[in-house]
Amino acid sequence: MKRIIITLAIISLAACTARPSFDPSSVADATAGQVTRVEPLSWWVGMKTDLQLLVQGTGISEYNVEIEGGKGVSVEKVAKAESPNYLFVDVEIAADAQPGTYYIVFSKDGKSFKYPYEIAARVEGSAQRKSFTTADMVYLIMPDRFANGDPSNDSTDDTAEDADRADGNGRHGGDIQGVIDHLDYISELGATYIWTTPFLEDNAPRGSYHGYAASDYYHIDSRFGSNELYRTLVDKAREKGIGIIMDIVPNHCGTEHWWMEDLPFQDWIHQFPTYTGTNVAFSTNMDPNASARDLFIQESGWFVPSMVDMNLDNPYVLQYFIQWGVWWIEYSGLNGFRVDTYPYNEKEPAAEWCKAILDEYPDFNIVGECWTSSIPQLAYWQGGNANKDGFDSHLPSIMDFPLHDAMRAALSEDHGGWGAGMSKVYDVLSHDFVYHDLSKMLIFPGNHDTARIGDVVRKDPRALKLAMTMMATMRGIPQIFAGDELMFVSAKPDNIGDHPGLRVDFPGGWEGDQLDFFTEEGRAAQTHNTDGLEVPKGQAADLFDYVSRLFQWRKTADVIHNGKTLHFMTRDNTYAYFRYNDEKAVFVYINNNLEDKNIPWSYYSEITEGLHDGVDVLTGEPFEVSDATVVAPKTALVVEYRR
């Protein structure tokens, strides 16, 4: 199949907002049931990615296919599936093809019908869109639990599960409009990107709120909004200086996905005589001693019974997901992907998927969820790593779970010692030599799958501030889960890792909420009760202000974005490190103890000589550190120096 390549001028991120007004989700089925769907929903002139249409319709495999409507667009090849109700149509789009509505013509026995298909003009500079880097802070939102901007779509006729806010595992009504309505809050916090858990349709009869069991890969769940409203979110966020990262799941779909009633091929998904779950043995991907059988179960077993494992070794499945990723980027104007359960995929096709996305968008960033506490195994999954077996994932960024684990373990302890307290953080960062690219690591104190950092630090706001200080000053790309900046805690204190418990609603996101943490007045309001704990008046306001000051400062702190790290070993439950470049040095001191600590400034003389004009980042006041400097219990000091 011919690939079309064009050269585009590099322009700013803001210039990627003007997109064609055509909304493929609004195309009516004009074929009276002869074709029930065509995916991708539309395409563009000037793409590098091959276009292969999945066509579904009763008995459609018996039809001949042509395309009419203009110059430069034609059918190159038609392939039948095992099911008679599918065709795969390879479409050639010439470099001089004209944008517009074309018609796919299906003919059989002297009769024919047409299906309209839009091939639009590509936005100028689309291929050069920028993505998230170390200069950004990513704010993670689970939309169903964030804010209900449109109560009219809480329950919809085309979906199975109705809203029930009293059900911790049910839908609560948060939606796209709720995110749009609170972009100012996110911007004020200092975030420059939003990662939302999936917005795509998840029609599971129960637990559909999280969106990780897609039943339609090309349509936003109607309880969240629409495809067009999602584009509006991307545009509105960009106006605030915020990019959007889409959470995608090529590893599995939901059992309610429309193709489960009639698979194109029997190996479209992984099937077993009886239910077979994955063994979650990621090591089988790089372990020279691993059995082929264990590797097969790891990548082919189902995630859970309600999530069907896709077979990316089937070339039609792989092409489907490549196009799907490209389509959402181009259609909505996205600037990043987060890939769920990345190592559960077949690794070679997954690497091909990443490469295809980056071939189309060279500056695009993709971060993969590679959930392992093993540093060498995590490093294996980052693209460009010098793996012994020669494998290259082409995955630019990885989530730093080892640092996540070490930081949480350290902050839950009040005393130091060998292998205790903050020395755990030092130890993890001492392994940075293993990683290929430290700038492409997502660091985080918690997310929607792990216990709330507020619970981990035992509801101590001082320790929460220590976590946020490290997030704002360490190497990598920081990510914060919505509400952690205010020290949200689990609704189920006896089981703080329970998903419904930790995925609590954001106060103020629903009409009638007594508290509204989206507003300055609400955060400073009267005491409130959470799980039997009285939270002091103004605590939420104090935490928000602290986090906001850090991340607003960080936006322009190139020494944090691109500087090196120098850290110093102690075993007294403190941690001292410098982020530095040729012009500046930022000194960070973490006192995780229950007593005051003197800073041993002279011990750091290899880097402190010549530092001048110190400024306390958190107060904005001049500050010079010395051996006489005392740091209070559970407190951080951050001082920016000139060199």
For the segment 563-581, what is each residue's pLDDT rounded down to a tens digit? 999 999 999 999 999 999 9
Reading the block at residue 571, the tokens are 């075993």
Contact between 169 and 500 under an 8 Å Cβ cutoff? The reply is yes
Cα separations (Å) of 584 from 607, 613, 623?
A: 11, 10, 15
Whole-number percent of the chain with pLDDT over 90: 90
Categorize the per-residue pLDDT at 8 as very low, low, confident or very high, splitting at 50, 70 and 90: very low
Distance, CA of 461 to CA of 533 (rounded, Å)? 13
Categorize the per-residue pLDDT at 306 as very low, low, confident or very high, splitting at 50, 70 and 90: very high
Helix/strand/coil for 176: helix
Task: Check pLDDT > 80 for residue 53.
Answer: yes
Mean pLDDT of 373-379: 98
Q: Give the DSSP H/E element, type plus range, for residue 307.
A: strand 307-309
Whole-number percent of the chain with pLDDT over 70: 93
Identify the active-site residue in 136, 201, 369, 455.
Answer: 369
The β-bridge relationship of strands 243-248 and 252-254 is: unpaired
Reading the block at residue 419, the tokens are 């292998």
pLDDT of residue 255: 98
pLDDT of residue 276: 98
Task: Check pLDDT > 80 for residue 429.
Answer: yes
Say which DSSP state 600 is in: -
Closest CA to 565 of 546, 581, 578, 576: 578
Q: Give the DSSP H/E element, type plus range, for residue 548.
A: helix 539-554
- Return the higher-pLDDT residue of 435 and 515: 435
Sorted by where each starts, the structural domains of the chain and their CATH numbers stand as 13-127 (2.60.40.10), 136-553 (3.20.20.80), 559-642 (2.60.40.1180)
Residue 477's DSSP bridge partners are: 442
Identify the active-site residue in 216, 299, 340, 485.
Answer: 340
For the segment 206-262, what is each residue's pLDDT rounded down to a tens digit? 999 999 999 999 999 999 999 999 999 999 999 999 999 999 999 999 999 999 999
Which residue carries 């998840």 as its tokens? 202
Distance, CA of 69 to CA of 528 (rounded, Å)? 64
Instruction: Name the least confident of 32-41, 169-178, 360-369, 634-643.
Output: 32-41
Neighbouring C-beta atoms of residue 414, cutoff 10 Å: 17
| Residue 300, amino acid | S
Distance, CA of 607 to CA of 588 (rounded, Å)? 13
Instruction: Name the least confident of 6-15, 60-69, 101-110.
Output: 6-15
Neighbouring C-beta atoms of residue 277, cutoff 10 Å: 14
Degrees to nearest 5, angle at CA 212 with 367 and 192: 40
Contact between 324 and 317 under an 8 Å Cβ cutoff? The reply is no
Distance, CA of 223 to CA of 202 (rounded, Å)? 10
pLDDT of residue 10: 25
Say which DSSP state 300 is in: H
Mean pLDDT of 354-381: 98
pLDDT of residue 525: 85
pLDDT of residue 527: 67
pLDDT of residue 547: 98
For the segment 191-220, what is each residue's pLDDT rounded down to a tens digit? 999 999 999 999 999 999 999 999 999 999
Degrees to nearest 5, angle at CA 258 with 165 and 212: 45
Task: Check pLDDT > 80 for residue 1.
Answer: no
Cα separations (Å) of 460 from 70, 478, 539?
A: 66, 21, 11
The β-bridge relationship of strands 43-44 and 111-120 is: parallel
Categorize the per-residue pLDDT at 497 as very low, low, confident or very high, splitting at 50, 70 and 90: confident
The answer to whether residue 369 is catalytic is yes
Closest CA to 329 of 439, 272, 244: 244
Task: Check pLDDT > 90 for residue 5.
Answer: no
Cβ within 8 Å of residue 528, ≥6 positions away = 514, 515, 535
Any idea of the CA torsion for 37, 40, 43, 49, to the nearest 10 degrees? -150
The answer to whether residue 352 is catalytic is no
For the segment 459-493, what is each residue's pLDDT rounded down to a tens digit? 999 999 999 999 999 999 999 999 999 999 999 88
Terminal-residue alpha carbon distance, the chain: 56
Residue 189's DSSP bridge partners are: none
pLDDT of residue 529: 60
pLDDT of residue 528: 61
pLDDT of residue 78: 98
Mean pLDDT of all residues belonging to the chain: 93
| Residue 600, amino acid | P
For the segment 112-165, what is each residue's pLDDT rounded down to a tens digit? 999 999 999 999 999 999 999 999 999 999 999 999 999 999 999 999 999 999
Categorize the per-residue pLDDT at 70 as very low, low, confident or very high, splitting at 50, 70 and 90: confident
Cα separations (Å) of 114 from 25, 67, 105, 380, 564?
A: 18, 9, 5, 49, 60
Task: Check pLDDT > 50 for residue 3.
Answer: no
For the segment 277-290, what is each residue's pLDDT rounded down to a tens digit? 999 999 999 999 99
pLDDT of residue 293: 98
Mean pLDDT of 446-463: 97
Categorize the per-residue pLDDT at 530 as very low, low, confident or very high, splitting at 50, 70 and 90: low
Any idea of the CA torsion for 275, 278, 284, 286, to the nearest 10 degrees? 130
Exposure of 634 in the CB half-sphere (CA atoms within 13 A)? 14
Categorize the per-residue pLDDT at 391 as very low, low, confident or very high, splitting at 50, 70 and 90: very high
Cβ within 8 Å of residue 271, ≥6 positions away = none
Contact between 97 and 119 under an 8 Å Cβ cutoff? The reply is yes
